[in-house]
Amino acid sequence: MFKTSNTFLPVSAVCLSTLLGYLLAVAYVSFIDAMERMRVRGTFSKYLSPEVMNEVLKSYDDIKPEVGKKIESTILFSDIRSFTSISEHYPVEVVVTLLNEYFEAMIGEVHNYKGTMDKMIGDAIMAFWNAPIPQDDHALRAVESSFKMHELLVDLNKEWQEKEYPEVKIGIGINTGDLIIGNIGSSARVDFTAIGDNVNLGARLEGLCKNYAAGIVISEFTYEYIKDKYPCRLLDKVAVKGKELPITIYQPFRVDKENISGKWNAIHDLYMNREWDKALAEIDNFLKEFKDDKVALMFRDRVVQFKEEPPDENWQGVEVLKTK
């Protein structure tokens, strides 16, 4: 006890009260932090692999993924070819089993390359990279993921063949550009998703896989990020519906042992230079080596037409696509 102005204060009681207040404050902050982590995990665990989820939790205060941001990202769309026909000709049980096994494998590869699984739209997959965790190599990750998806599908088709399931083929479209990414929705349902013109372009590129008989189609913007690592075949210069400016599209190869990309790109240069006779001769040589190549046959028809009716002086080699 000590005495000041005839007032006696129990020192032990004051210290104990202060300590108790401090411990309660620490416990409250820890409780709030734990609750916040649970909320974040509940919100994002369905989009992210456990590895990326842990990165989000570590860096949450810096990245704040729920807040909408405009960021350069790479978007991937994948779709099963002729799925309507499959669903019409096979029992429901087969279709559901096939889809579940397919999604398990494909989404697994998105996560293996640290992508964000945005959503499934029927038999389609939408995923993106560079959010919520920044990734300098986001375009490369997306393309490498698409290579692996095709490789896995070969193995899946072998397994499904033994069960007398239908063969599944897919097309993948990839685009890189500014996207708006964040929690978007209503009070009843919110999704962490990407929106914007470049998302729409990614979906258009997936649709072009059928036009060019390509398993993967990427935009010129994605191409710029991967061109030094993977060979790419220049497919066309197109004006897609909904875009003012034309874009150049490519087909990337993990390995191009036959140098399809190099041989074709040289032919495309002749085409763009209006050297119709040389282009036609080289296309015919190309078709001898790569019989029934859809792109070569398509350009052969164009060259024959241009030999008869040359395009005007403003021609830039742009193919206008009238459908989505």
Of 222, 255, 288, which residue sits at a domain end? 255
Do 86 and 127 lie in one domain? The reply is yes
pLDDT at residue 5, as a whole number: 55
Do 309 and 160 lie in one domain? The reply is no
Do 114 and 183 lie in one domain? The reply is yes
pLDDT at residue 11, as a whole number: 64
Do 165 and 213 lie in one domain? The reply is yes
Do 307 and 266 lie in one domain? The reply is yes
Range(s) of the domain holding residue 301? 257-324
Residue 10 lies in a domain: no
pLDDT at residue 56, as a whole number: 63
pLDDT at residue 65, as a whole number: 57
Cα 199 from Cα 177, distance rounded (Å): 9
pLDDT at residue 182, as a whole number: 86
Do 302 and 195 lie in one domain? The reply is no
Whole-prediction pTM: 0.84
pLDDT at residue 138, as a whole number: 98
Of 206, 236, 255, which residue sits at a domain end? 255
Q: What tens-digit pLDDT sequence spans the chain (324 residues)?
A: 445 555 555 666 667 777 777 666 666 555 555 555 555 455 565 667 677 667 666 665 655 655 678 999 999 999 999 999 999 999 999 999 999 999 999 999 999 999 999 999 999 999 999 988 899 999 999 999 999 999 999 999 999 999 999 999 999 999 999 999 988 878 777 788 999 999 999 999 999 999 999 999 999 999 999 999 999 999 999 998 777 789 999 999 999 999 999 999 999 999 999 999 999 999 999 999 999 999 999 999 999 999 999 999 999 999 988 766
Do 107 and 246 lie in one domain? The reply is yes
Q: For the stretch 20-53, what's the b/e string if a residue is b when 16 or more beta carbons lie within 10 angstroms of its beta carbon? A: eeeeeeeeeeeeeeeeeeeebeebbeebbbeebb
From the centroid of its chain, how far is CA 36? 29
Residue 267 lies in a domain: yes
Do 211 and 237 lie in one domain? The reply is yes
Do 90 and 238 lie in one domain? The reply is yes
Residue 223 lies in a domain: yes
pLDDT at residue 192, as a whole number: 84
Residue 31 lies in a domain: no
pLDDT at residue 98, as a whole number: 96
Do 204 and 221 lie in one domain? The reply is yes
Cα 80 from Cα 170, distance rounded (Å): 4
Do 235 and 141 lie in one domain? The reply is yes
Do 142 and 232 lie in one domain? The reply is yes
Residue 152 lies in a domain: yes
- Residue of 113, 92, 132 lying closest to 174 (CA atoms): 113
Residue 121 lies in a domain: yes
pLDDT at residue 35, as a whole number: 54
Q: What is the CATH number of the domain that holds 136?
A: 3.30.70.1230
Domain count, the chain: 2
Residue 261 lies in a domain: yes
Of 239, 255, 271, which residue sits at a domain end? 255
Residue 40 lies in a domain: no
